[in-house]
A and B are shown apart, each in its own frame.
Chain A
Amino acid sequence: MSTTTDTPASDSKRKAPAGERVADWADGRLGIYSLAKANMRKIFPDHWSFMLGEVALYSFIIIILTGVYLTMFFHPSMNEVEYHGSYVPMQGVQMSEAYKSTLDISFDVRGGLLVRQIHHWAALIFLAAMLVHMMRVFFTGAFRKPREVNWVFGFLLLLLGMFTGLTGYSLPDDLLSGTGVRFMDGAILSMPIVGTYVSMFLFGGEFPGHDMVARFYSFHVLLLPGLMLGLLAAHLILVFYHKHTQFAGPGRTNKNVVGMPLLPVYMAKAGGFFFLVFGVIAAISALFTVNPIWNLGPYRPEEVSTNAQPDWYMGFPEGLVRAMPGWEVSVWGGHTLVLGVMIPVMILMPLVLAAIALYPFIEAWVTGDKREHHIADRPRNAPTRTGFGAAWISWYFVLLIGGGNDLWATHFHLSINAVTWFVRIGFFVVPVLVFVATRRICLGLQRRDREKVLHGRETGTIKRLPHGEFIEVHEPLDQEQLHTLTAHDQYEPVEIGPETDENGVERKVTRGQKLRSRLSKGYFGDSGQIPKPSAEEYKELTSGHGHH
């Protein structure tokens, strides 16, 4: 990268400035000139919601920085030692070296507790930011061609992030994390046929064994973050390659990007934003406890505490398992199938996640649209998609309620059984209700947009006509607003076509085609969207009789 520095005035006039010489030196060896030239003036559009991915990126960087510091003091070992550090209520307690070194980080390493808390809070925020970033991409349709692959990369980052978090949560070998790993072991054991083998393989024998922490450590600091860094690089390269989406507006087309250049504007903004993110996370970490392992005690397989929950991003499988009836069947002469764990963890959890990963391909199939899309949709203009997204969020939220059912029970004075039954029923009912309601709200907003385009903005000014009638003055929108409100595409529902071809021979219509046509009708039929006002309609209403 080229940097310009002030050259001292005393420098010889023939010599090029130092910055230029450094740049020249680097370019001769790295060939960065053309790279920088092509990308430094790259234009990015401006909208707050486009910065959510940045929040995720920066918190990921913060996690790596603080994680490196923690590795210097953490001992990933399960050897039993006696604690004699400075935390009094643990003195003399037998514990693993992993737990002891985490206590030492918290109480005896300078800045250790703060860095640990930054690491953990940043992880919680990283996952949340990724999910919200995904929501932004989803609701604006920014996953459409050509960005489907990048959507999948983002999904994989979320998935890997979840498991990186899970393995990190397990490292201190405290009672909470041990219980979490025990839960995971239970999930693995519920796999038919291979479950016990996988469990024995993963833990190096019977759970918990003596290898768990060392193995999870290598997953947590090497394997998973390595994969994530690779995916992240690919994700960002694709963002550059595809260019950023933008919202519709005057002068913004599917072929351009209106915004500001990476250098200097976005470099400054992004750099500043990084420090703001770091500052907010550091302030939270300085003020609020996260995962107080000194309160939890060392892990012992025979002990368990209430409030044993995973971090929030693993809350939905927790909710699935808590809500699932404890079914268990015996098949093939005595082989137990633990359906109460297998169905939620092995079937439903992948289903909840796959719904995210597959959606772009499902929508592309329904619309049959092969064009590129660089203009972001307003959520209201894609009511069915928005409905699906809102339904998924409500589904996820219901499961989070299930995962924290005990706290809902104690804090709202409810019966935990009632909460669990709410989750069981809500799992099926709530997403449907939310889907219907969201879709109707979107249609209502579309109607309002149509009204605004055709009849103008309600000014709130009441006028009395000579014959006594009162009317409200409507002010026509200006050209820019008209464009913004009518720029979106509206699809026609896909028709299967006539049942017979031109020769009267019956055409073969596959079931897939029928399903597609039905879905397409749901998306784009009369009940799926409000026709946007056409130019003719607008002219007819605005010319001639005048508007009111």
Chain B
Amino acid sequence: MKKLSARRRHPLAALVVLLFALAATGGLYTAFAPAGEAKADQESSQSLAIEEGKKLYATGCSSCHGTGGQGTSDGPSLVGVGAAAVDFQVGTGRMPAQQPGAQAPKKKRVYNDDEIKQLAAYVASLGAGPATPGKDQYDPSGADVAKGGELFRNNCAQCHNFTGEGGALTHGKFAPDLGDVSDKHIYEAMLTGPQNMPSFTDGALPPKAKKDIVAYLKTVNSDKSESPGGFKLGGFGPVSEGLFAWVFGLGALIAVAVWVAARTAKAKKS
């Protein structure tokens, strides 16, 4: 106690007290905040979500997409992109963007599920667009994997590689690895065409075909997919195989050659 009183007139004492006060207020707020208690009526919940979404939008998105979602020079218009686009972009952490660049990469997401729903509700209210798909739409069980493979090679492999390992696009843009993307997000990406990806509307690629593609990706590129040939070296094709053959194949054989040459018959003088 003596130590404490000796320092109470320290120039930084006020700051420390302030920090304690802030921590206490914040802690109390999180403990007692009326989280999830505000379950209003079904009708008003939608308009409430739009209201909440608008607030979130104003702080997190409007600087690039404009105050009314009309778009600016820094970001495209969100009128008509639909809830599915918001669910994908915000749900995979791509939005809000970290920095301007060729492409916003996937990262840890900023908003929780409720907030994403609110944002999606607000953006959907700006103009009609694809709604967030339900589980019955994207769930791949029972879909035709072989058909999905053909569709994938026809429509997706150009950028995403044979099994969706990802690939390069121009000027630093890229088609990401689809290995750890959830079924819902794959479906939404096809539906809405995020960033540099073209969108595959239900007219171009019917819902069943989308489901087949999701099923194909789950079979060949997920943590459950099998690799009959052993370690797959990234699945990038001949470049990674060639690198491996040089470094580990020939490398090992040269090491063996050195070893054999060092164990020579005793023909030399001692």
Q: Which residue in B154, B231, B236 is a CB contact (below 8 Å) of A302?
A: B154
The CA of A269 and the CA of B261, in the complex, are separated in Å by 9
Residue ID in chain B nearest A405 by CB atoms: B168
Residue ID in chain B nearest A410 by CB atoms: B168
Does B237 lie within 8 Å of A129, measured CB to CB?
no
Does A273 lie within 8 Å of B150, measured CB to CB?
no
Given contacts A273-B260, A304-B157, A305-B158, contact A132 B235 (CB under 8 A): no
B233 at the binding interface (Cβ < 8 Å): yes
- Pairs of residues from A and B, 3 with the lowest C-beta to C-beta distance, nearest first: A312-B242, A289-B229, A306-B167
Given contacts A89-B219, A93-B150, A410-B174, contact A280 B162 (CB under 8 A): no
The CA of A269 and the CA of B102, in the complex, are separated in Å by 57
A92 at the binding interface (Cβ < 8 Å): yes
Does A289 lie within 8 Å of B231, measured CB to CB?
yes
Does B256 lie within 8 Å of A273, measured CB to CB?
yes
Does B162 lie within 8 Å of A295, measured CB to CB?
yes
Does B245 lie within 8 Å of A125, measured CB to CB?
yes
A404 at the binding interface (Cβ < 8 Å): yes
Does B257 lie within 8 Å of A265, measured CB to CB?
no
Interface of B is mostly: helix
Does A311 lie within 8 Å of B241, measured CB to CB?
yes
A55 at the binding interface (Cβ < 8 Å): yes
Q: Which residue in B154, B228, B254, B264 is a CB contact (below 8 Å) of A52?
A: B254
Does A306 lie within 8 Å of B157, measured CB to CB?
yes
Does B245 lie within 8 Å of A312, measured CB to CB?
yes
Does B167 lie within 8 Å of A406, measured CB to CB?
yes
A371-409 near B? 1/0 per residue, CB < 8 Å: 000000000000000000000000000000001111101
Q: Which residue in A90, A265, A286 is a CB contact (below 8 Å) of B149?
A: A90
A369 at the binding interface (Cβ < 8 Å): no
A276 at the binding interface (Cβ < 8 Å): yes
Nearest CB in chain B: distance from A296 CB, A? 5
Does B261 lie within 8 Å of A46, measured CB to CB?
yes
Does B169 lie within 8 Å of A307, measured CB to CB?
no
27 pairs, A vs B, C-beta closer than 8 Å: A51-B257, A89-B146, A106-B229, A125-B249, A132-B250, A265-B267, A276-B260, A277-B253, A284-B248, A287-B231, A288-B229, A288-B231, A291-B241, A296-B162, A297-B150, A300-B153, A300-B154, A303-B153, A303-B154, A305-B153, A305-B157, A307-B161, A315-B242, A407-B168, A407-B236, A415-B171, A416-B169
A272 at the binding interface (Cβ < 8 Å): yes
Which chain B positions have C-beta within 8 A of A286? 230
Does B167 lie within 8 Å of A307, measured CB to CB?
yes
Nearest CB in chain B: distance from A534 CB, A? 29
Nearest CB in chain A: distance from B115 CB, A? 30
Which chain B positions have C-beta within 8 A of A259? 267
Number of interface residues of B (CB under 8 A): 62
Which of A49, A176, A290 has the largest count of B CB atoms less than 10 A from its CB?
Answer: A290
Given contacts A47-B261, A51-B257, A415-B171, contact A93 B149 (CB under 8 A): yes
Residue ID in chain B nearest A309 by CB atoms: B238
Does A175 lie within 8 Å of B256, measured CB to CB?
no
Known: A280-B249, A288-B244. 8 other contacts (CB 8 A): A46-B264, A289-B232, A295-B235, A296-B162, A297-B162, A304-B157, A415-B171, A416-B168
A88 at the binding interface (Cβ < 8 Å): yes
Binding site for A on B (CB under 8 A): 102, 145-147, 149-150, 153-154, 157-163, 165-172, 174-175, 216, 219-220, 227-233, 235-246, 248-250, 252-254, 256-258, 260-262, 264-265, 267
Residue ID in chain A nearest B159 by CB atoms: A306
The CA of A88 and the CA of B231, in the complex, are separated in Å by 20
Does B175 lie within 8 Å of A291, measured CB to CB?
no
The CA of A46 and the CA of B262, in the complex, are separated in Å by 9
The CA of A88 and the CA of B148, in the complex, are separated in Å by 12
The CA of A302 and the CA of B228, in the complex, are separated in Å by 28
Given contacts A51-B261, A89-B149, A280-B253, contact A305 B162 (CB under 8 A): yes
Does A295 lie within 8 Å of B256, measured CB to CB?
no
Which chain B positions have C-beta within 8 A of A113? 228-229
Nearest CB in chain B: distance from A424 CB, A? 16
Q: Which residue in B145, B158, B228 is a CB contact (below 8 Å) of A306?
A: B158
A500 at the binding interface (Cβ < 8 Å): no
Nearest CB in chain A: distance from B257 CB, A? 4
Which chain A positions have C-beta within 8 A of B261? 46-48, 50-51
Given contacts A90-B146, A291-B238, A305-B153, contact A417 B171 (CB under 8 A): yes
Does B253 lie within 8 Å of A176, measured CB to CB?
no
The CA of A287 and the CA of B230, in the complex, are separated in Å by 5
